[in-house]
Structure 1
């Protein structure tokens, strides 16, 4: 089984599925493999037609079952690689290539196990969910949740196979990303009242973000397992102005928030939007009709909230034999599945320490542990 998994992983790495470039060839490859086993496969396209989700089911057509989910896109292969990043290379028990651990290793394990699922007398279905654009905002998973609702498909649990070194992850923060753009009126700096200075207004906005950062810190939940335990908020990029003596007529602030729960996100966003819409924007428009402020939502991905009663956590504890459950700082699609009413945990082969770097790799030992987990899942779904 491990040899078969290696061959599939080599094929998957060979598809250069950088988020900006699409994933259709990989989706066609996976769909053909699952179609050949008699799976019920469905795809959804993004608005450009260059990216697709695949959702496939093996087993009885009944509610419930377990989703094995992985994103197919990878980050760009920048930096100095020892070998071609889109050609799998095995050395010393490690398989190198872009996406090897994040997260084509898990997808390869799922596809390698698919014949065993197809040949078993499953009492509950196993679902395969392979998505696009996780790396740039989890847009594929968002579209997939809508499709599942439309199709009336209601899985019970989900395993997101992000690289956790096969540790069970029950929680991570959300990731909300925005760009706030200020539009003003240019002019000579010697006559500031004849223009609208966007950097000045952006500065006031940065002060509001700092205020909300402190407010979120004070709201840290008791017993929060995260590090830091509170929701974080920070500006990351600011662009504006062309010279010291020119009133800047355009400025953008890129900022993000990583909430520990949905309540914190609503708390902060309500106050930030009120500040912009009720104070800053009217003041700018009073100076010039063409001035104002707008905020673009780049992505809002809910976190995975640890729950006291979790069907997925109990399942994966049984499958792996591990009792511990941790939280992580990186984000995944898990919160979207959880928000759709699907009990979800994160558990997959490889280490996040290897992700998004040159010479990314996954260990064969990790792939075998994942195959062992999926083998136990096949037997459990057959009972």
Structure 2
């Protein structure tokens, strides 16, 4: 536990907010793992300002994969009462940006890697660290072509997002979209003679709300989620230059988070059809009226089958008898799509501490994670 805390203290000092480079942290971790006898491969981002890592130690074979991201969410605009980039221990709480999401888990992974350097392994311990998870799982997607051949086929993947050490077997997939609405400029005194782009946008929002209502009523349901159906959400609407000018363009950003049983391609097709219906209503007045829908980001969901052996194995290692599904997205779906049995299990509470000012991780949660790592290490020695 003391060693894990020493490592966590160092990790928190690196300001790896997603807008910043993570290369200093990556260099430190890379050297750490090499000192532990791991084979380490750095995977640079396309821009070269960030990188992920893949590390492995032990004989060839399936092994177990431990997965985490290195970036954290911003602290700007939040009221912290402590330095967010300095680990502060008060009673049973460890304060600092990323303690829960998810440098506490990374510290536990590195601590077990150090213990593994003194162990005789019968299977490999595999570690994957990514970047830019907090902005839509961008990093793992960019890494995957190079990462997948290195991974092989681990018999289990533990993604260490905060679940309070429960074994999470599912989360929704997500797609982020942009709708650009095209209308006509004109003087507001003659507004009815022009197609107002904001009118297209608001009519399109009405269509999205109707789609949401239909998905809630007739779509798939999964009672394991607090919101048990696929959701459609509009987060931002912009348009117009001045009050006395009819806007010729408006933009809205929206998303859908889908259950595994709902086909994301079908949802996207329904969205595009709604955009076309709205556009056609305005083309009788102006033939160029249109709404362009662009999907600019997406990540897959996770829905590990109840009968999958990885669940029982994870429960044994985590000392849990229950399972859960989480509301937030993770990188787990990417590993699942590679055919790697995957669950999510890590210390801390996303609902209680994730992304909040004065983020903290309890010592008991970190201790439980360290204990799970010890059992994983013993499992690899058998």
Are the equivalent residues in 1 in contact too, given 2:276–2:290 (CA < 8 A)? no
Which residue in 1 is equivalent to 2:319? Answer: 321
Superposed CA offset, 1:325-350 (max 9, x none): 01121221112221222111111111
Which residue in 2 is equivalent to 1:48? Answer: 47
- Partner Cα separation in structure 1 for residue 221 and residue 191 of structure 2: 49
- Partner Cα separation in structure 2 for residue 31 and residue 138 of structure 1: 22
- Partner Cα separation in structure 1 for residue 218 and residue 263 of structure 2: 8
C-alpha displacement at 1:296, in angstroms?
3.2
Corresponding position: 1:310 with 2:308:
yes
Which residue in 1 is equivalent to 2:168? Answer: 169
Of 234-243 and 84-93, deviating more is 234-243
- Partner Cα separation in structure 2 for residue 198 and residue 121 of structure 1: 66
Aligned residues: 380
Which residue in 2 is equivalent to 1:349? Answer: 347
Are the equivalent residues in 1 in contact too, given 2:200–2:278 (CA < 8 A)? no
- Partner Cα separation in structure 2 for residue 219 and residue 334 of structure 1: 28
Which residue in 1 is equivalent to 2:213? Answer: 214
- Partner Cα separation in structure 1 for residue 254 and residue 187 of structure 2: 29
Which residue in 2 is equivalent to 1:188? Answer: 187
- Structure 1 residue matching 2:60: 3-state secondary structure: coil
- Partner Cα separation in structure 1 for residue 284 and residue 67 of structure 2: 47
RMSD of Structure 2 on Structure 1 (CA): 2.2
- Partner Cα separation in structure 1 for residue 285 and residue 336 of structure 2: 44
Are the equivalent residues in 2 in contact too, given 1:77–1:85 (CA < 8 A)? yes
Of 233-242 and 147-156, deviating more is 147-156
Are the equivalent residues in 2 in contact too, given 1:169–1:325 (CA < 8 A)? yes
Superposed CA offset, 1:143-163 (max 9, x none): 233223344733232111111
Gap runs ≥5 in structure 1: none
TM-score w.r.t. structure 1 length?
A: 0.92
TM-score w.r.t. structure 2 length?
A: 0.93
Which residue in 1 is equivalent to 2:360? Answer: 361
Are the equivalent residues in 1 in contact too, given 2:304–2:343 (CA < 8 A)? no
Gap runs ≥5 in structure 2: none
Of 177-186 and 132-141, deviating more is 177-186
Which residue in 2 is equivalent to 1:20? Answer: 19
- Summarize the Cα distance change of 1:311–1:285 in structure 2 as closer, same or farther, 3 Å threshold: farther
- Partner Cα separation in structure 2 for residue 374 and residue 295 of structure 1: 45
Are the equivalent residues in 1 in contact too, given 2:172–2:260 (CA < 8 A)? yes
- Summarize the Cα distance change of 1:108–1:322 in structure 2 as closer, same or farther, 3 Å threshold: same
C-alpha displacement at 1:288, in angstroms?
5.8
1:123-202 to structure 2, matched below 5 A, reads: 123-151=122-150, 153-192=152-191, 195-202=194-201
